[in-house]
Amino acid sequence: MVSRIARKLKNVYNPDIARWIEDLNPPKSAVLVPLFFRHDDLRVLFTVRAAHLRSHGGEVTFPGGKANDSDANLTETALREAGEEIGLPKDSVKSIVQAIPCLTNDLNSVAPVIGFIDSRFEPVPNRSEVSHVFSMPLVNFLSKKNIHCIRQVPLYGNRGSNVYFKYKDNGETYTPSGITAWISIMLASYIFDRSPDFKEFNQGCTSDDPQDIVKHVYNMYARAFNKNPFEKKHQ
């Protein structure tokens, strides 16, 4: 099962988009998207950032952070940060695939690094950075019944939709949103071979194909900055 999913995940990397982002040379960061099976249920692990943090305090995120000069690559960044934040040994993460980097509105590049972890892993949160660690079924991100609310937000000089999901676990309510939700929706679409049953994910794209939606979103950004990420470069 893990190897089959890993083969599917190779499709989440688009070299044209990756090269275009590299040419922009934005500040780089990476997040680890930890997957595991609980019985037959494919789940994804999240953290909640400590409330006192100035950047995204209290928000649901993946373990991750800014790239250091000492990191060999962005996979190394994601694994290092996961170790620092929740005590995940980097050699315990299997079938690692790097997905297409995401660009935030403040022009930072976030590379999702997807990998499988042991379902018996017990997180040890670094309380200076993380207040909670929880997991939820990945398939939840394909159903509108799990949406808490949808807000219109600025997106690369246009208007986009920020989808807030709702999940209850051990008496706590969590609301993944923003890039965290976007990555989770994309990942679920690829793995389960279907689009979500809500249109806001498409950000105005007329296609339901995840690759088309990704290109549409990056073209929104490109138009805002007068640059086409898919133009052919002439030597």
How does pLDDT run across 109-118, given as a tens digit for each residue?
899 999 999 9
Tell me whether residue 234 is in a domain: no
Q: Are 35 and 93 in contact (CB under 8 A)?
A: no
Tell me whether residue 229 is in a domain: no
pLDDT at residue 232 in the model: 47
CATH of the domain at 28: 3.90.79.10
Q: Are 75 and 33 in contact (CB under 8 A)?
A: no
What's the total number of domains in the chain? 1
Higher pLDDT, 204 or 161: 161
Q: Where are the beta strands (DSSP E) in 156-233?
A: 158-165, 167-169, 172-174
pLDDT at residue 235 in the model: 38
| Tokens 């695939």 -> residue | 97
The candidate with the shortest Cα–Cα distance to 20, out of 199, 162, 228, is: 228
Question: Does residue 104 surpass a pLDDT of 90?
Answer: no
Higher pLDDT, 149 or 233: 149
Q: What share of the chain is helix, strand, coil (3-state, %, to 5)?
A: 35, 30, 35
* End-to-end CA gap in the chain: 43
Tell me whether residue 178 is in a domain: yes
Higher pLDDT, 168 or 214: 168
Tell me whether residue 119 is in a domain: yes
Tell me whether residue 138 is in a domain: yes
Higher pLDDT, 2 or 36: 36
87-92: long-range contacts, CB 8 A cutoff, minimum separation 24: 87/123, 87/124, 87/125, 87/126, 88/32, 88/34, 88/63, 88/117, 88/121, 88/123, 92/117, 92/118, 92/121
Tell me what the mean pLDDT of segment 48-70 comes to: 93
Domain coverage including residue 142: 2-224
- Please state the pTM of the whole predicted model: 0.89
Tell me whether residue 230 is in a domain: no
Q: What whole-number distance in Å separates Cα of residue 161 and Cα of residue 203?
A: 6
Tell me what the mean pLDDT of segment 9-24 comes to: 77
Tell me whether residue 155 is in a domain: yes
Q: What whole-number distance in Å separates Cα of residue 107 and Cα of residue 24?
A: 9
Tell me whether residue 103 is in a domain: yes
pLDDT at residue 23 in the model: 81
Question: Does residue 78 surpass a pLDDT of 70?
Answer: yes
Question: Six-digit token pair at 170?
Answer: 């051990």
Higher pLDDT, 49 or 229: 49
Tell me what the mean pLDDT of segment 27-47 comes to: 96
pLDDT at residue 233 in the model: 44
Question: Does residue 122 surpass a pLDDT of 90?
Answer: yes
Higher pLDDT, 151 or 125: 125
